[in-house]
């Protein structure tokens, strides 16, 4: 049994970044499964979507954006509270930092713990970690929908909450004029889903139904390539839903027959690995995903806070379960 390195702590190779102009004044930067970011030009201002893990990492994105436009950032929109998406916020010098109201609650409740947890799990994303000045706090929040008129003939940018999903407070950014949707971590394009803070049942049903109802022609997910055309958009949503459905089914079976969470992890890993094992962050996510859905089945509605310590405990408990199972198979041969 080869011990797996904790989460993504051994993933140290920088990904290739791709800057794309999706429509006139609409930009995305994808990075082979690292967190995606976007930007939308208003007539005399800029809206940025997601902030990256540190100001230094954010500046590399802003430098590319500044080759296209010098407009000031009026709104920095953060799809949810996770550290790798928000802690670079200070680099944007934004007039307003916009989140869902529940994201503010989550930052107050668990922002510090999440920072330590995510830094331990994926240190590569935290370029020059000392450049982070502190937690990122929203200055403008909403609960359902917020419309930003872009000015001129640019149409509106609609920010919307589609229900509980990847976290309790995810929002998406929708451009009706171009039918472009920035979906945050609610949809991943050929990258594993992180569900450690999720509401699996809501996400896999009504929330993804609402995401699909935008009928987008271009979708920028939280990770992975841009989905272009209705077929690719539908495929990205379907793949994300399938991952959730399989996780729910497999963990649910073991939970239902009175098994252990380590058994649930083994069963889920064995079933999903052939299809999803090569996708970015699959091995990283799965122990946390299984533990969270197990907690939900146990009746824990509000996700337990991940701390650097709890991360290591859960990881070790599930991998040890794996080692014990290998031993049993060995003995049975
Ligand atoms: Zn996230």
Report the separation in Å between the CA atom of 84 and the middle of ligand 1, taken as the mean of its atom positions.
8
Could you tell me the strand order of the sheet in which 73-77 lies?
A: 18-23, 26-31, 34-41, 46-49, 73-77, 96-100, 140-142
Report the separation in Å between the CA atom of 102 and the middle of ligand 1, taken as the mean of its atom positions.
14
Distance CA 62, CA 69 (A): 10
Report the separation in Å between the CA atom of 252 and the middle of ligand 1, taken as the mean of its atom positions.
23
Distance of CA 73 to the CA centre of its chain: 23
Distance CA 141, CA 100 (A): 5
Q: For the chain, what percent of residues have pLDDT higher than 70?
A: 95
This prediction has a pTM of 0.94
> Confidence band (pLDDT; 50, 70, 90) for 309?
very high
60-79 pLDDT, tens digit per residue, is: 999 999 999 999 999 999 99
Report the separation in Å between the CA atom of 166 and the middle of ligand 1, taken as the mean of its atom positions.
7
> Confidence band (pLDDT; 50, 70, 90) for 325?
low
> Confidence band (pLDDT; 50, 70, 90) for 14?
confident
The closest alpha carbon to 24, from 153, 206, 113, belongs to 153
- Average pLDDT over every residue of 208-223: 98
- Average pLDDT over every residue of 93-111: 98
Mean of all residue pLDDT scores within the chain: 94
DSSP code string of 201-224: HHIIIIIHHHHHHT--SEEEESSS
Are 240 and 193 in contact by the 8 Å Cβ rule? The answer is yes
> Confidence band (pLDDT; 50, 70, 90) for 282?
very high
Report the separation in Å between the CA atom of 8 and the middle of ligand 1, taken as the mean of its atom positions.
15
Report the separation in Å between the CA atom of 326 and the middle of ligand 1, taken as the mean of its atom positions.
32
Predicted confidence (pLDDT) at residue 237 exceeds the cutoff of 50: yes
In this structure, of 15-19, 149-153, 173-177, the range with the lowest mean pLDDT score is 15-19
Question: Which residues lie at CB < 5 A from ion ligand 1?
Answer: 82, 185
- Average pLDDT over every residue of 201-207: 98
Are 183 and 170 in contact by the 8 Å Cβ rule? The answer is no
109-159 pLDDT, tens digit per residue, is: 999 999 999 999 999 999 999 999 999 999 999 999 999 999 999 999 999
Q: For the chain, what percent of residues have pLDDT higher than 90?
A: 87
Residue environment code for 142-167, b if the CB has 16+ CB neighbours within 10 A, otherwise e: beeebebebeeebeebbbbbbbbbbb
> Confidence band (pLDDT; 50, 70, 90) for 330?
very low
């Amino acid at each position: 049994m080869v011990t797996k390195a904790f989460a993504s702590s051994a993933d140290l190779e920088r990904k290739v970044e791709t800057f794309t102009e999706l429509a006139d004044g609409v930009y995305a930067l994808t990075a082979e499964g690292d967190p995606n970011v976007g930007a939308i030009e208003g007539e005399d201002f800029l809206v940025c979507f997601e902030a990256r893990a540190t100001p230094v990492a954010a500046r590399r994105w802003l430098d590319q954006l500044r080759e296209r436009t010098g407009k000031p950032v009026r709104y920095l929109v953060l799809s949810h509270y996770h550290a790798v998406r928000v802690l670079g916020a200070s680099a944007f010098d934004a007039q307003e930092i916009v989140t869902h109201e529940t994201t503010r609650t989550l930052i107050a409740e668990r922002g510090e713990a999440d920072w330590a947890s995510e830094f331990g799990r994926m240190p590569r994303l935290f370029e020059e970690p000392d450049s982070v000045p502190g937690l990122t706090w929203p200055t403008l929040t909403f609960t359902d929908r917020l419309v930003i008129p872009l000015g001129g003939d640019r149409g509106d940018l609609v920010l919307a909450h589609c229900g509980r999903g990847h976290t309790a407070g995810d929002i998406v950014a929708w451009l009706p004029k171009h039918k472009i949707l920035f979906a945050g971590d609610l949809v991943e394009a050929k990258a594993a889903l992180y569900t450690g803070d999720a509401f699996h049942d809501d996400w896999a049903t009504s929330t993804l139904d609402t995401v699909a109802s935008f009928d987008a022609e271009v979708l920028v997910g939280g990770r992975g390539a841009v989905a272009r055309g209705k077929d690719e958009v539908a495929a990205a949503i379907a793949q994300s839903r399938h991952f959730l459905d399989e996780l729910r089914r497999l963990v649910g079976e073991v939970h239902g027959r009175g098994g252990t969470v380590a058994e649930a992890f083994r069963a889920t890993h064995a079933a999903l690995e052939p299809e999803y094992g090569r996708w970015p962050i699959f091995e990283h996510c799965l122990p946390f995903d299984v533990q969270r859905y197990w907690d939900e089945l146990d009746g824990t509605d509000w996700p337990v806070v991940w701390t650097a310590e709890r991360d290591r405990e859960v990881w070790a408990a599930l991998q040890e379960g794996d080692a014990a199972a290998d031993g049993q198979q060995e003995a049975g041969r």
